[in-house]
Amino acid sequence: MSIFFVGLVLFIGMHSIYILAPNVRSAAIDRIGYNPWRGLYSLVSLIGLILTIYGYGLARQDSVLLFTPPPWARDFAFTLMAVASPLLVASFFPNPTRIGRFVRHPMLMSVTLWAVAHALAVGTLAGVLLSAVFFMWTLAARFSLIARPMTAAVASPPKPMNDWIAVAIGLAVWAALLFVLHDWLIGRPLL
């Protein structure tokens, strides 16, 4: 479980610098430059993500069951993920989407829904811990965004086609995870 913890600390820690210590980020950018900071941020985050995934896989082999998920949790998780996947895709559009304007931070909402879905449907110590850490991080990030001064809004209007593309790609990713990829990537079939 120690590899899992180290991975979570690295990944969430890097993603929390702007929330907890924005001056550290600014000082690092002033000292080494913006692109080197992005490279360091990306490298540490990637290492953290890899260690989290690997450590979670190890923790699952000797899993401690905290609770047995209720019978409805699986279908509820599928439904939440059908919403979370298009939100995640919408967050990557460089041009505004109506989804992004409505939700404001679609990636944070996507991760929040993912965390709730998996906390309810998994029931193991490692699964609940992983979900809880990401859920708490999304809450902290949301409160941090509320506390920050507002920046100028994007002047260009949302493009409706981007919403349709985000929903189509998101649902395709959701279906691929549901039928094939979750088993292949995570080692747990969903159906």
Q: Six-digit token pair at 117?
A: 């879905």
Looking at the structure, tell me whether residues 99 and 167 fall in a common domain. yes
pLDDT at res. 113: 97
152, burial (CB in 10 Å: exposed 0-12, middle 13-18, buried 19+): exposed
pLDDT at res. 153: 55
Looking at the structure, tell me whether residues 30 and 97 fall in a common domain. no
Q: Which of 11, 43, 62 is the last residue of a domain?
A: 62
- Residue-wise DSSP of 74-131: HHHHHHHHHHHHHHHHHTT-SS--HHHHHHS-HHHHHHHHHHHHHHHHH-BHHHHHHH
- Model's pTM, two decimal places? 0.86
Looking at the structure, tell me whether residues 77 and 152 fall in a common domain. yes
Could you tell me which of 93, 88, 127 has the C-alpha nearest to residue 108? 88
Q: Per residue of the chain (191 residues), what is the pLDDT tens digit?
A: 899 999 999 999 999 998 888 888 889 899 999 999 999 999 999 999 999 999 998 988 888 999 999 999 999 999 999 999 999 999 998 777 888 888 888 999 999 999 999 999 999 999 999 999 999 999 999 888 877 765 555 557 777 888 999 999 999 999 999 999 888 887 788 88
3-state secondary structure of 4: helix
Q: Which of 10, 35, 62 is the last residue of a domain?
A: 62
- For the stretch 127-141, what's the b/e string if a residue is b when 16 or more beta carbons lie within 10 angstroms of its beta carbon? bbbbbebbbebbeeb
pLDDT at res. 145: 81
Residue type, 57: G
Torsion of CA 139, 144, 146, 151, to 10 degrees: -140
pLDDT at res. 149: 66
Looking at the structure, tell me whether residues 46 and 101 fall in a common domain. no
φ and ψ at residue 124, rounded to 5 degrees: -90, 160
22: domain range?
Answer: 1-62
| Count of structural domains within the chain | 2
pLDDT at res. 96: 74
Looking at the structure, tell me whether residues 8 and 80 fall in a common domain. no
